[in-house]
Amino acid sequence: MADFETPKFREYPVVPQIKVDAMAGKGPFISRAEFDTDLGYPGELPENWKEKTLEKMGDLLGRYRSFQVFMDSCIKCGACTDKCHYFIGTNDPKNMPVARQDLMRKVYRRYFTVAGKFFPKLVGAVDLTEDVLDEWYNYYHQCSECRRCSVFCPMGIDTAEVTMAAREILAHVGKGQKYSNQIIQKVYKIGNNLGLPGPALKGILEDLEEEVEEDTGVPVKYNMDEVGCDALLMTPSADFFAEPHIDGLIGYGKVLHELGITWTVSSLASEAANFGLFIGSYENIQKISMRIREAAIELKVKRIIFGECGHAWRVAYSFLNTLAGPFDFLDQNYPVPQHILEVTYGALQEGKLRMNKAENDHLTMTFHDSCNVARASRMGDKPGGQFDIPRAVIQAACNNYVDMDSDTIKDATFCCGGGGGILTDDLMEVRVKGALPRMEALKQVTEESGVTNIAAICAICKSQFTKTLPYYGFEMDAIMSVHQLVSDAIVMTGSEQEKDLDGSDDDEKSES
């Protein structure tokens, strides 16, 4: 498969021994200059890179309280050292969250603190060199910004904030990451991460309409650029063609149709994902977010609904109001924005959706909490709704459900290994090794409880699992969308499925 070994399942999840420099290297492909310049970065290492680096670092220290406080407040207690999936999978000590932060903190201390200026050795401060930059580039691209470490940190230090700052600084001295920057450029030029132009998208949606009507007998609409619908659907572009993502999209369409909510996607903003988050650029997160506002205005919708995507939901839930709000022109009776699971869950609570769970009786499901949903957002009106709502929806669609080990779910969930800008082939080793803790937890429930499939609500998780499950001896299609389960179980009014369950119209007549 590749030139690295897939980690073996550990007999007990013991803390790994450290293996210094196990993942030393050059990191992912560096961005081409053209992608960088389109995003407002220089595209090459400037002559005065050292001044530029420190200048940007100082700038960010003055703009982000998180970054400033987190540089100061680490006490090196070691609580986080065994919490990162990349450390567990690679054994490289620089993948321990504190050590990852320290790559930056050592430079911070050297140039921004009294102690580091005068006694660098004593406090572990180092000079900024090109080697340091390369080390940043390598190890800050072995972090998926999943925030698991922050849950366990007594000071609440969130390594994701440090990683984002590091990537932003690196991009300012010509060391942007190709994968993320190229994708953002595509969003600006074409409208989505995959570079799928409007007409192609329209074709895909028409095919879906045909397929669903053939399957159910119900003319479910999958609109694009339809003015005057109730809702704008923002969904990751992987939902338009990747498996199992597209089965989720089919599910959203069925639910919204059954509830009588008309909806459309926008070719201008045909992408819920926002990779500006991954590269830590406020300006780019905002620019990408603004497309959503523009699309909502242009299409004259009343609501914005988000599909299954982890970091997109973080940006939507936590940042959209800040970055592209206020949304006073939308219907205030609904949360802005709303998650498709909130819609489905609410309808299930009110008894508005009929589900035939037996359709999924061949499955025993478990659920993978996606990090950005679990630790950086909420669903519903109670803290923890982001854990309960997806589980409730799965259980409304499927009779057999088992949770994985409690240390690996909800706010302690392990990242899939591909989040935060890591989902690229040039980081395959990092991705496979980082998936180890999640794969171990999955292995346990398959053996002990007969779990057959794992559901997720994030496009990145779904793509990552499709790729990494086979490395660990699972089938690649063991990963499913939550709304795929809904799609298979839902009994729409007037559908073939309804007739099958209730008997045909003729039978009903003869009964009465």
Contacting other proteins within 407-426 (CB under 8 A): 411
Stretch that binds other proteins, among 236-244, 245-253, 262-270, 287-295 (CB under 8 A): 287-295
d(CA 185, CA 98): 32
| Residues facing residue 339 across a β-bridge | 306
Stretch that binds other proteins, among 45-53, 147-155, 353-361, 397-405 (CB under 8 A): 147-155
Tokens of 427: 């980081």
d(CA 374, CA 411): 6
Min dist CB 204 to other proteins, Å, is 28
Question: Scanning residues 254 to 283, which ones bind other proteins (CB under 8 A)?
Answer: 282-283
Residue placing its CB nearer to other proteins in the complex, 29 or 282:
282
Which of 145, 158, 440, 498 touches other proteins by CB under 8 A?
158
Q: Are 309 and 273 in contact (CB under 8 A)?
A: yes
User: Which amino acid, one-letter code, is at 164?
Assistant: M
Min dist CB 266 to other proteins, Å, is 14
**Which ranges of 28-64 does DSSP label H, i.e. alpha helix?**
33-38, 49-63
d(CA 467, CA 454): 14
Question: Scanning residues 69 to 88, which ones bind other proteins (CB under 8 A)?
Answer: 69-70, 72-83
* Strand, helix or coil for residue 75: coil
Min dist CB 20 to other proteins, Å, is 8
Residue placing its CB nearer to other proteins in the complex, 2 or 15:
15
Residue placing its CB nearer to other proteins in the complex, 86 or 319:
319
Residue placing its CB nearer to other proteins in the complex, 289 or 360:
289
Strand 365-367 to strand 223-224: parallel, antiparallel, or no bridges (unpaired)? unpaired
Strand 231-234 to strand 223-224: parallel, antiparallel, or no bridges (unpaired)? unpaired
Residue placing its CB nearer to other proteins in the complex, 154 or 473:
154
Which of 36, 161, 258, 429 touches other proteins by CB under 8 A?
161
Residue placing its CB nearer to other proteins in the complex, 79 or 259:
79
Residue placing its CB nearer to other proteins in the complex, 121 or 509:
121
d(CA 260, CA 92): 53
Long-range contact pairs involving 383-388 (C-beta distance under 8 Å, separation at least 24) = 384/410, 387/411
∠231-232-238 over CA atoms, to 5°? 135
Stretch that binds other proteins, among 65-73, 260-268, 398-406, 425-433 (CB under 8 A): 65-73
Would you give the binding string for other proteins spanning residues 99-138, x where CB under 8 A is met?
x--x----------xxx-----xxxx--------------
Contacting residues for 239 by C-beta, under 8 A, at least 6 apart: 245, 246, 248, 249, 307, 308, 459
Determine whether 67 is exposed, middle or buried from the number of CB atoms within 10 Å of its CB (0-12, 13-18, 19+).
buried
Q: If you count them, how many residues does the chain have?
A: 512
Min dist CB 292 to other proteins, Å, is 11
Instruction: Give residue for tokens 């799609």.
Output: 487
Q: Does 14 bind other proteins (CB under 8 A)?
A: no
Stretch that binds other proteins, among 11-19, 177-185, 202-210, 457-465 (CB under 8 A): 11-19
Q: Does 18 bind other proteins (CB under 8 A)?
A: yes
3-state helix, strand, coil in the chain (%, to 5): 55, 5, 40
Min dist CB 93 to other proteins, Å, is 5
Which of 57, 173, 309, 336 touches other proteins by CB under 8 A?
336
Which of 25, 46, 56, 152 touches other proteins by CB under 8 A?
152
Nearest to 89 by CA among 418, 440, 437, 371: 437
Nearest to 145 by CA among 108, 113, 185, 177: 177
The answer to whether the Cα torsion of 478, 482, 484, 485 is positive or negative is positive
Q: Does 2 bind other proteins (CB under 8 A)?
A: no
Stretch that binds other proteins, among 1-9, 60-68, 226-234, 352-360 (CB under 8 A): 60-68
What is the signed CA dihedral for 90, 96, 101, 102, rounded to 10 degrees?
Answer: -100
Q: Does 227 bind other proteins (CB under 8 A)?
A: no
Tokens of 442: 């999955």
Go through 388-404 and write b for each residue having 16 or more CB atoms within 10 A of its CB, e for each that does not.
ebbbbbbbbbbebbebb
Stretch that binds other proteins, among 128-136, 330-338, 359-367, 441-449 (CB under 8 A): 330-338
Min dist CB 509 to other proteins, Å, is 49
Residue placing its CB nearer to other proteins in the complex, 270 or 377:
377
Q: Does 64 bind other proteins (CB under 8 A)?
A: yes
Stretch that binds other proteins, among 246-254, 382-390, 429-437, 448-456 (CB under 8 A): 382-390
d(CA 443, CA 484): 22
Q: Does 332 bind other proteins (CB under 8 A)?
A: no
Q: Does 63 bind other proteins (CB under 8 A)?
A: yes
Stretch that binds other proteins, among 22-30, 56-64, 197-205, 248-256 (CB under 8 A): 56-64
Determine the size of the site formed for other proteins (CB under 8 A): 78
Q: Does 15 bind other proteins (CB under 8 A)?
A: yes
d(CA 361, CA 188): 44
Strand order in the sheet with 231-234: 223-224, 263-265, 231-234, 303-306, 338-339
Question: Scanning residues 296 to 325, which ones bind other proteins (CB under 8 A)?
Answer: 297, 300, 317-319, 321-325
